[in-house]
């Protein structure tokens, strides 16, 4: 097998597994027109806030408290994002403000 | 279509910032590994999973086998298993677009769709599809751009990927403000922090999602009483 073909194969495997993971709930739950069980519906409604919390933690997982530059930019920018959003409730403003602060802080510190 | 497109463009600006930057970073990495922009187009087109694509470059250059690649993909992308549960009925109602909506359900698209309450006068199905399509397009465009430019980027955009973190934060805050009950959000926070502290940064996310799902599944409240996104 040429190296290119092997690479192509790995890409297909990676794509296939990813698609399977995304499709599994649709293949396994509530097919055939019937509604999914109440338990699954309830989970579907309650998951988004929990998933957002976990994704935020995932994004900030590299935070280290050994040096100022390891935690201040990300945590200050996160606080600014939430603060801006509580103040104006304007999604783009909150994201732009938090991101700009982060980009400034990682250059200054 | 124009009204929906304009609306979807505005909604996806945060993902545009994050995906363009991360996509470029991926394209550059892949190009430096000896694979030019057509490979970036292929991978970003059909794999379409941010952090896994970075891991895939390592697998490719390290000469990994099929099994190792499959296992790594399961580990890194396992969290996607949970996303479809929220949109089972919603995506099925979209008919022919359903397979694409399922395929393109990344972290960022999931977040945008969870937060989506399409204003009156716009076609909700088209809007959702356009949001998913635009996100995919940004990611592919960024990757190809990175592959073409190589490391010769004309400006220093380091840190712009924080837009992704900010997007998750804003949606979390928005859900917090509009929800009557905060148990799901607090459960996610607690599960995430506990798993991060116990298991470490590299392997906490799937256990955290499993733990949160297990804690949230039982519960006395009928689903109608909870804050829901518009159907």
Chain segment B105-118, per-residue pLDDT in tens = 999 999 999 999 99
Of the candidates A46, A94, A106, the beta carbon closest to that of B166 is on: A94
> Per mean pLDDT, which range of A19-23, A97-101, B69-73 is the poorest?
B69-73
The predicted pLDDT at position A29 comes to 85
Do A41 and A67 lie in one domain? The reply is: no
Residue B186, in any domain of the structure: yes
Q: How far apart are CA B48 and CA B35, in angstroms?
A: 17
Domain boundary among B151, B167, B198: B151
Interface ipTM: 0.88
Do B195 and B91 lie in one domain? The reply is: no
Burial class from Cβ neighbours inside 10 Å (0-12, 13-18, 19+) for residue B53 reads: buried
The model's pLDDT over B52-86, given as tens digits with 9 standing for 90+, comes to: 998 899 899 988 899 989 988 988 898 898 899 99
Give the mean model confidence (pLDDT) for residues B205-229.
72
Chain A residues touching residue B83 (CB < 8 angstroms): 22, 25, 51
Residue A20, in any domain of the structure: yes
Do A38 and A67 lie in one domain? The reply is: no
Domain housing A19:
1-46
State the helix-helix crossing angle for B13-32 and B50-61, rounded to 10 degrees. 0
pTM of the model: 0.82
C-beta separation of B11 from B115 below 8 A: no
The model's pLDDT over A38-51, given as tens digits with 9 standing for 90+, comes to: 888 888 888 889 99
| Interchain pair B217, A15: CB under 8 A | no
Chain A residues touching residue B19 (CB < 8 angstroms): none
| Interchain pair B102, A23: CB under 8 A | yes
Average model confidence (pLDDT) across chain B: 89
| Interchain pair A18, B158: CB under 8 A | no
Do B209 and B113 lie in one domain? The reply is: no
Chain B residues touching residue A78 (CB < 8 angstroms): 165-166, 169
Q: How far apart are CA B43 and CA A10, in angstroms?
A: 10
Residue A19, in any domain of the structure: yes
**pLDDT for B227 beyond 80:** no
Domain housing B210:
179-218
Do B144 and B37 lie in one domain? The reply is: yes
Provide, rounded to the nearest whole percent, the portion of chain A with pLDDT above 90: 63
Give the mean model confidence (pLDDT) for residues A84-108.
92
The predicted pLDDT at position B223 comes to 46
Which of B15, B60, B155, B168 to mutate: most A Cβ within 10 Å?
A: B168
Do B20 and B114 lie in one domain? The reply is: yes
Looking at the 3D structure of chain B, how many domains does it have? Answer: 2
């Amino acid at each position: 097998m040429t190296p290119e073909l092997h690479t192509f194969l790995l890409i297909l495997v990676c794509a296939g597994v990813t698609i399977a993971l995304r499709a599994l709930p649709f293949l396994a739950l509530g097919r055939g027109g019937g509604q999914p069980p109440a338990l699954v519906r309830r989970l579907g409604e309650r998951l988004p806030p929990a998933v957002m919390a976990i994704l935020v933690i995932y994004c900030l997982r590299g935070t280290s408290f050994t040096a100022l530059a390891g935690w201040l930019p990300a945590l200050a920018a996160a606080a600014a994002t939430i603060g801006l959003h509580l103040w104006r409730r304007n999604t783009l403003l909150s994201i732009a403000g938090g991101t700009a602060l982060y980009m400034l802080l990682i250059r200054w510190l | 279509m124009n009204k929906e497109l304009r609306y979807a463009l505005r909604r996806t600006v945060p993902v545009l910032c994050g995906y363009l930057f991360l996509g470029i970073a991926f394209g550059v990495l892949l190009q430096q590994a000896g694979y030019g922009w057509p490979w970036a187009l292929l991978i970003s087109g059909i794999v379409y999973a941010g952090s896994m694509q970075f891991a895939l470059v390592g697998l490719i250059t390290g000469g990994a086998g099929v099994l190792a690649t499959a296992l790594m993909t399961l580990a890194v992308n396992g969290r996607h298993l949970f996303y479809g549960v929220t949109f089972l009925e919603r995506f099925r109602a979209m008919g022919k677009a359903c397979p694409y909506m399922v395929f393109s359900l990344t972290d960022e698209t999931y977040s945008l769709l969870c937060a989506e309450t399409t204003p009156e006068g716009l076609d909700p199905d088209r809007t959702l599809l356009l949001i998913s399509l635009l996100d995919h397009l940004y990611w592919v465009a960024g990757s190809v751009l990175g592959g073409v430019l190589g490391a010769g980027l004309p400006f220093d955009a380091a840190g712009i990927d924080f837009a992704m973190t900010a997007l998750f934060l804003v949606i979390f805050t928005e859900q917090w403000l509009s929800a009557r009950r905060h148990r799901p959000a607090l459960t996610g926070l607690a599960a995430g922090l506990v798993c991060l502290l116990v298991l470490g940064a590299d392997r906490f996310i799937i256990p955290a999602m499993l733990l949160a799902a297990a804690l949230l599944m039982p519960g006395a409240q009928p689903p109608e009483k909870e804050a829901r996104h518009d159907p």
